[in-house]
Amino acid sequence: MEINALMMDPKDNVVTCVTEVPAGQTVVYRKGDELCTITAKEDIPYCHKIALTDILEGGEVIKYGESLGKTSQVIPAGCWVSHKNLFSVPRDYDSEMLSHKS
């Protein structure tokens, strides 16, 4: 099986496809030493993300082990994650400061 997607962190709930993946095709990625697969339910463009688990509306998309933002609709496993169903949450810098927490 040839790898056609990259997982950036084991905590991620998406992987990035490094080829175009038509609906029905198997996405193969490495998670540590293990090879994992998921079937694409939609066409996934080159370098775009596919959901590995069902992500609820208002749920977080995790890549690099970090949140990319929140979803505007349910994204079922195997579906395409893009700017159409994911939005950025503005930063609250003051709350991030350690000096404000103490």
Partner 1 sequence: MQFWGYKRKEGRAGIRNHVLILPTCACGSESCRIVASQVRGAVNIVFNTGCSDVAANTAMSQKVLTGFACNPNVYGVVIIGLGCETVPHTELKKKIQAMTSKPVVSFGIQDEGGTLKTIEKAVRAARDMAAEAAMQQKELCDISELLLGIECGGSDATSGIASNPAVGELSDLLVDMGASTIMSESIEWIGGEHVLAKRAATPEIHDQIIQVCKDYEAHLMANGQDCRAGQPTPGNKAGGLSTLDEKSLGCIRKGGTRPVVEVLGQAERPTKTGAILMDTAGYDISSVTSMVAGGCNAVIFTTGRGTPTGNAIVPVLKVTANARTYQKMEDNMDVDLSAIIAGTKTYQEMGAELVPVILDVCNGKLTKAEAFGFSDIAVDHVCRYV
Binding site for partner 1 (CB under 8 A): 2-4, 6, 8, 16, 18, 30, 45-49, 61, 63-64, 66-69, 81-83, 86-91, 93-94, 96-99
CB-nearer residue toward partner 1: 10 or 83: 83
CB-nearer residue toward partner 1: 39 or 67: 67
Buried b (16+ CB within 10 A) or exposed e, 5-44: bebeeeebbbbbbeeebeeeeebbbeeeeeeeebebeeeb
Least separation in angstroms between CB 26 and partner 1:
14
Least separation in angstroms between CB 89 and partner 1:
8
Read off the amino acid at residue 31: K
Whether the CB-CB separation of 50 and 5 falls below 8 Å is answered with yes
